[in-house]
A and B are shown apart, each in its own frame.
Chain A
Amino acid sequence: MSLLKVENVSKVYKSDRFLWGQQRITEAVKNVDLIIEEGTCLGLVGESGCGKSTLGKVILGLLKPNEGEVIFQGKNFCKSNGRRQYGLRRDLQVVFQDYSSSVNPKHNVEKIISEPIRNYLKLSPLEEKKKVLELLEIVGLNQNDIKKYPHQFSGGQLQRICIAKAIALKPKLIVLDEAISSLDVSVQAQILNLLLSLKEQFHLSYLFISHDIEAVSYIADRVAIMYLGRIVEEAENIKNLEELKHPYSKKLLASVLNPYPEEGKFLDSSFDEVSISKQISCGCNYIERCEKAMEICHQQVPTFNSVAEGHKIACHCEGI
């Protein structure tokens, strides 16, 4: 049985109605299916505003999907009662992008990290402190840091504290919502290596949400590419990202800037932006930017076709 199963989930945001104005509807996530197996990492890539964070929140149970089901460890999170949700939450943790606003500035490190422990385990104060010290050591912080406050740390260290908080209860799945995006290059590498070693050590599963396809390819076992609310491509065990076939995935890959100028691959100013108008169309979402658009793309939403084992793609032009 897979650890997490997302079935046909849709999430729609509705704006308030003005006096006579029309209600605006934004389809943030549309008919998404995902599966995360135990001990693996799924990377979710997309531009800003494509609905990847919304999907993360739906999986965490922070938002209720309008349609579809999220099944975690065989149980439907949204339809569970409070007591059962409390139990499921223990195995479901999150690390956010903004590390400084996800810790309480008035609490010291001990209090921050011991909060989830106190919620679920009944430990004596001494055992609790021992556990916090253990966690600090795992994430590579000094034991003397235990009495310090958040403002005394740098960004990378704070993100380590957030990770310590997330792994405190030995969860099954951690949602990393742009967890490394606001860190420096050298610190990003430190945190990614930490996440990889934690995954092996505790047999964790990750949902790694990011806009950086390079970082995702480094940490993830499976990659899902998202565009305007829909998953357009899913690939397993990608050794070579060049194997991605969807026109949008190719565009994302081409936008990676190469640090070795002699290898060619130069800037090309023909890239364009996501159109903000998210109209409910009957065709493919990517049509406005696609070079290969055909007649059928305007009329039908592409469905998933499998091109190779574990590699699915939703496009009319490719993979048929």
Chain B
Amino acid sequence: MKNEVVLKTDNLQVFLPNNQGILRAVNGVDLEIKKGKILGLVGESGCGKSVMSLSLLGLLKNKEWKIEGEIELRGKNLLSLSKEEMRKVRGKEMAMIMQNPMSVFDPLTTIGGHFVDTIQNHIKITTKEAKKIALENLKKVSLPNPEKIMKQYPFQLSGGMLQRVMIAIAIALNPAVLIADEPTTAVDVTVQHQILGQLKKLVKEHNTGVLLVSHDLGVIAQMADEVAVMYCGYIVEKAPVEELFRHPAHPYTKGLLSSRFQLTKRRLKPIEGQPPSLINLSNQCPFLERCNEAEEICTKYRMDEIGGIKNHLVRCAKYVTGNEVMLHELA
């Protein structure tokens, strides 16, 4: 039962028709989040990472957003649920950690109040019992003096502490899936270390499946078990973490890795140019214009063909036809 899939998306497509055309934010994403495992999702800003994570929770506010495909949480199709049923799923079976801790909390409610609200929304217990659960969870994220924090207001805590409180609230009801959307982008580097360490520990303890969205390759490398690289709404590469960082196959992944600084002084090799607009995206490879390995066959390639080997999937013309190329490179 180790590799039980808790959340599965099947050909998930999210798009927004507007007056300029159709904005295709997520294009045919197949992902599987396994119990107790962390799936990392990397990509540049504007590539559809956040839209995807919001669509999983049914949180896309604008009603014009169209979602197609399937989202399956423990055998239940989330897209067929009504608004009220979805509300019961959120928080209890699926929770989210947002990027900006300062704007998530209600400034007029104490930290304890936030816990009690969340817990009583899903289970029928007294406020006293709910507070007990809250205290336990605050202790789990090793915040100093949890009794005092329960009575404090969000503005009295620092960003790093609030982020940890948010993690504590998210895991309070022991959800099956946790979606962390850039959980440490807004905090300092030393605090980032602490938060990520605690998150990883808690996830392993509770056996929660996590979708970790980030643009920082360092975070992903340290946290994730499996990595999916997103570009223009497509998952262009998916592989176990060590394999992806050791043998990146897609030119975009290679570019991302080489544009990261290292502690050695080496001239950086950035990816030239800008990603294309998501409006009326064609079926062609969206990376074609920026790719330095582009060839003749790339112009004929369509994005629904997937290449690669067993657990290392690549959406690139180079790997679709010849698996030998890949096996050769991996060797």
Contact = CB atoms under 8 A, between A and B. Distances in A.
Contacts, number: 136
A308 interface: no
Given A184-B45, A273-B158, A257 B219 contact: yes
Contacts of B271: 186
A269 B263 contact: no
A16 to B, nearest CB: 18
A262 B189 contact: no
B185 to A, nearest CB: 10
Contact of B218 (A211, A251, A258, A274): A258
A185 B263 contact: no
Interface string A168-205: 00000000000000001111111011000000000000
B17 interface: no
A189 B269 CA distance: 7
A261 interface: yes
Contacts of A257: 192-193, 196, 216, 218-219, 221-222
Given A217-B261, A259-B260, A252 B190 contact: yes
B268 A189 contact: yes
Contacts of A259: 217-218, 220-221, 245, 257, 260
Contact of B274 (A154, A185, A242): A154
23 contacts: A154-B274, A185-B259, A186-B44, A189-B270, A190-B272, A192-B268, A213-B189, A218-B265, A239-B265, A241-B263, A253-B263, A255-B193, A257-B218, A259-B257, A261-B221, A262-B246, A267-B197, A267-B200, A267-B223, A269-B142, A269-B201, A271-B191, A271-B194
Interface of B: 44-45, 142, 158, 160-161, 188-194, 196-198, 200-201, 215-223, 241-242, 245-246, 255-257, 259-263, 265, 267-272, 274
Interface of A: 47-48, 154-157, 184-190, 192-193, 211-215, 217-218, 239-242, 251-262, 266-274, 276
Given A187-B270, A211-B188, A269-B201, 14 more contacts: A184-B45, A185-B260, A189-B269, A240-B263, A255-B189, A257-B221, A259-B220, A259-B245, A260-B245, A261-B241, A269-B194, A269-B196, A271-B193, A276-B158
